[in-house]
Amino acid sequence: MNKIKPNTAKIIFLFSIVTLGFIIFLGAAFYWSSTKRKLPNLTYTEINSALRGDIISRDGFKVATSIKLYKVTIDTRNLDPQKKELFIKLYTLYSGEDPKKVKKIINSTFGSVILSYKIDSKKAKYLKNLARKLYRLGVFKNYENPKTKVSFLHGMNIIESGEKRIYPALDTLTPVIGYVKKVEKDRITKIAGVKGVERFYEDKLRPIQNSVLQGKRDIANNVILNRDSVYTKRIDGYDVYLNISLKIQKIIEKILDTKKKFLEADEIIASVMDSRTGALLALATSNRYNPDAIKRSDYPSLNVAAIEYSYEPGSVMKPITFALLLENKKINPFDLVRIYGGKFKLGKRTIRDAHSYEWLSAEDVIVHSSNVGIAQIAQNLDSLEFYQGLKDFGFSFKSGIDLPYEARGEIPPLHKFKSETYKATVGYGYGMRANFMQMLKAYSAFNNNGREVVPRIAKKFSLKDGQPIPFLMDTQKQVIPVAVAKRVQKILIKTVLKGTGTAAIYDGLEIGGKTGTAHIAADGGYSDNYNSSFFGFANDKKNRFTIGVLVRVPKKRYYYYASLTAVPIFRQIVDKLVEEGYLSPSL
């Protein structure tokens, strides 16, 4: 083998060295171009989340509102050990946290740690100012990771963690106001309505648009405001303004609480509604809860029984049956009806009255609440007149109130009204089911010239400092002729003056109404328990209110009759409406 010349060998060696260096350079370039590196982010984005709208009563009180919550984080590796005590002292002074608790958290963690999840907006603002001061005081210093040799400096960060719903009125206006649940969105805890007004107006209450501030950042992560920065305005959800007066609501709830205890009842429901507009001044129950702290024992009270509980209404149906008879010209109020001493056999069923009359005029059948009388005159209606008449009054349909999960109730199918027994029982409020609000709506027609109104809790919506959006009024349907409504109204006034509702009399006011005492169905028959109710109206020269009271299962001995339970509550409510200036008796 020939020896390679020395110059040639040197050239080959140098070429190999250059080639190897070039390969190493290309490999390094490829590695760094394909590897994600933690480069400083020159752009900083600050998001200010929009909040859920408030719910505000007729008299201007917030019954539901939202506040922001913030969390505070630090990296203990950046905390100068010599200035740890200074940090703890300043942080707890600004945040109100327990110094011992904060010290324990810091000492037990080497790395990123959350000091608090529940800092309110005011404290968060102070802590953000403190964070800037801590940079200047050198409380935080660079830390170099011994493995990666990468150094970093993280100070104290105050980050939005979520939204909390607050109910300043505690249990007042529940369960109508409803409650919310937590929803995680973009690593922030938000809220959504579950029941009541919170659920029904979810589309109005929920936040509309977050505020976003974007631009170049300084060393403390603050946005530098210049022409290159971007800003969008925060728009919170609509505030919902109610027709309900918090003061009247609380007054009525107090009445119901006292009466529930006295009557040993399962629940008492009461409502006051403007007969001409459907605006609800109050919708109260004795069974309430605190939405801020719902307990397991509160579960039965979470439902709005005024719309979610349906029952056989009993004798409060008699004026409605009578109105259908008048509308179809099947009765004259002065016709005489034989009562047979309060005992009448219809097929296999024996119908009984609480009083032993022999004869009553047709209108006095209502005044003295005769089952025997209404059972007989109800036969004058043909099946279609009765069936369609009940549907026209809204039975088996939702009342339209602005609350979710309403029970429709039920009436017998059309062919059942061919039976004399069904006509009789439905005529005095059995064999069908209705909810409290359906009954209140039906009675409002007697106090509004035969027109039905839709019960409304909300009055208007408004953005913060924005133009209010009034609630669109529902079209009022003529349920019965004006003349029929006025005639039934007079009969209901007579019922209060001379019949079963005398405890509701109030001098100087026009008061009318009808009692109902209904057995509760159980195990294919009827139990010894009752629901007692009184639906009617209270009017002065300017105002007209439809008022309903339902006492569910009063257990106090001898106090199951509506005249002893629901009527006195109705009267107390009227007293309070007078005291608060909603009604003015004439001299």
Given the structure tokens 């977050």, which residue do they identify? 210
Q: For 365-396, what is each residue's pLDDT tens digit?
A: 999 999 999 999 999 999 999 999 999 999 99
Task: Give domain status of residue 229, yes or no.
Answer: no
For residues 348 and 293, membership in a common domain is answered with yes
For residues 200 and 298, membership in a common domain is answered with no
pLDDT reported for residue 21: 75
Given the structure tokens 């027609």, which residue do they identify? 445
Neighbouring CB atoms inside 10 A of 91's CB total 24
Given the structure tokens 């009024």, which residue do they identify? 473
Backbone angles phi, psi at 209, to 5 degrees: -150, 130
Q: What CATH number does residue 549 fall under?
A: 3.40.710.10
For residues 381 and 474, membership in a common domain is answered with yes
For residues 194 and 275, membership in a common domain is answered with no
pLDDT reported for residue 143: 85
Half-sphere exposure of 100 (CA within 13 A, CB side): 0
- Biggest alpha carbon distance in the chain? 147
For residues 500 and 558, membership in a common domain is answered with yes
The DSSP bridge partners found for residue 535 are: 514, 548
Q: Is residue 448 within 8 Å of residue 485, measured between CB atoms?
A: yes
Question: Which 3 state secondary structure label does DSSP give 88?
Answer: helix
Residue by residue, what is the 3-state secondary structure of 197-266? HHHHCHHHHCCCECEEEEEEECCCCCECCCCCCEEECCECCCEEEECCCHHHHHHHHHHHHHHHHHHCCC
pLDDT reported for residue 155: 83
Last residue within a domain, chosen from 207, 242, 277: 242
Domain interval for residue 356? 246-579
Stretches where the chain sits below pLDDT 50 are: 1-2, 38-39
Residues 73, 389: Cα–Cα separation, whole Å: 67
Task: Give domain status of residue 88, yes or no.
Answer: no
pLDDT reported for residue 219: 57
Helical H segments across 404-512, by residue range: 420-427, 436-444, 482-498
For residues 200 and 257, membership in a common domain is answered with no
Q: For 79-100, what is each residue's pLDDT tens digit?
A: 988 999 999 999 899 888 899 9
pTM above 0.75, yes or no: yes
Task: Give domain status of residue 111, yes or no.
Answer: no
Task: Give domain status of residue 110, yes or no.
Answer: no
| DSSP characters over 153-185 | ----EEEEEEEEEE-TTTTTTTTTS--EEEEEE
pLDDT reported for residue 220: 56
The DSSP bridge partners found for residue 532 are: 517, 551
| DSSP characters over 351-414 | EE-SS--SEEEHHHHHHTT-HHHHHHHGGGS-HHHHHHHHHHTTTTS----S-SS----B---G
For residues 201 and 252, membership in a common domain is answered with no
CA–chain centroid gap for 345, Å, is: 48
Q: Is residue 161 within 8 Å of residue 117, measured between CB atoms?
A: yes
- Token representation of residue 212: 């976003």
Number of domains within the chain: 2
Task: Give domain status of residue 1, yes or no.
Answer: no
